[in-house]
Amino acid sequence: MIELAFSILSADFAHLADEIATATRGGGTIIHVDVMDGHFVPNITFGPPVVKAIRPVTKLPLDCHLMIEDPDKFIPAFAEAGADMVSVHVEACRHLNRTLQLIADHGMAAGVVLNPATPVEMVAEVLPMVHHVLVMSVNPGFGGQKFLPRAVDRIAHLARLRSELGWNYRIEVDGGISRETVGSVVRAGADMLVAGSAIFQSGKTEANAVEFLRLARSAGERLA
């Protein structure tokens, strides 16, 4: 199933509950929470207290993308705050298998993230144990960046491995996903589509989400 994971990084933080409600009315089914620490990426955003604050205002799953050093230290706090999915960067984890197991042990769906310059082979050994693989289609740190088209081949590679090896992970893509780029990533095999600026722009959040999903699903149907 193709799903829109809207990134609240581009929402109006002063009205987060309303922004979430509007994007949900537009068809968004996952809330993507971009957690940045100013070390792993050159920007700071939010952490477990914000996850805890939005937990009671929505029934949608909270997908926390940790762009932080030493994620193990914070995984229990995200679980406690109400996160449903947690993704960690392979580049930030010295003991990736242990970190993914820790996420699962806390009752959350574990995902692994690849920066644009990281070969897909770096996650080969953990593919059987992850709920999703997140392919970055920008260098992480900021919303509103330009899509890096090499992501399409990387998604196709992961989709091929999934069917050849019989694994079940979902393929998430994040960065510069818009009406223009969404078709290419869906055709390559992505099914969790992160979008921030494409959704929360021009004061037309609901309509943006509806149109985004229409384009994504029509690209998906042409595949079937």
Active-site positions read 34, 174
- Sign of the torsion formed by the C-alpha atoms of 50, 53, 57 and 61: positive
Q: Which stretch binds ligand DX5 (CB under 6 A): 52-60, 101-109, 157-165, 174-182?
A: 174-182
> In DSSP terms, which residues pair with 31 in a beta bridge?
6, 62
Near Zn ion by CB under 5 A: residue from 40, 46, 65, 111 = 65
Is 111 one of the binding residues for ligand DX5 (CB under 6 A)? no
3-state secondary structure of 83: coil
Binding mask 7-46 for ligand DX5 (x = CB under 6 A): x-xx---------------------x-x------------
Burial class (CB in 10 A: 0-12, 13-18, 19+), 45: buried
Near ligand DX5 by CB under 6 A: residue from 47, 71, 189, 196 = 196
Name the strand (E) or helix (H) holding 50: helix 48-54
Largest CA distance in the chain: 46
Residue 145 binding result from ligand DX5, Zn ion, none, given CB thresholds of 5 to 8 Å by partner type:
ligand DX5
Near Zn ion by CB under 5 A: residue from 19, 34, 63, 84 = 34
Question: In sequence order, which residues have a C-beta less than 8 Å from that of residue 70 and are 6 or more positions away?
Answer: 92
Instruction: Identify the CA nearest to 35 among candidates 52, 18, 59, 60.
Output: 52
What does R_g of the chain's alpha carbons equal in angstroms?
16
State the minimum distance, in angstroms, from the CB of residue 194 to ligand DX5: 5
Nearer to ligand DX5, 99 or 208 (CB): 208
Phi and psi angles of residue 173, each rounded to the nearest 5 degrees, phi first: -135, 145
State the minimum distance, in angstroms, from the CB of residue 89 to ligand DX5: 10
> For residues 72 and 157, what is the distance between their CA atoms, to the nearest angstrom?
28
State the minimum distance, in angstroms, from the CB of residue 201 to Zn ion: 17
Is 143 one of the binding residues for ligand DX5 (CB under 6 A)? yes
Residue ranges in contact with Zn ion by CB under 5 A: 34, 65, 174
Residue ranges in contact with ligand DX5 by CB under 6 A: 7, 9-10, 32, 34, 65, 138, 140-141, 143-145, 174-177, 194-198
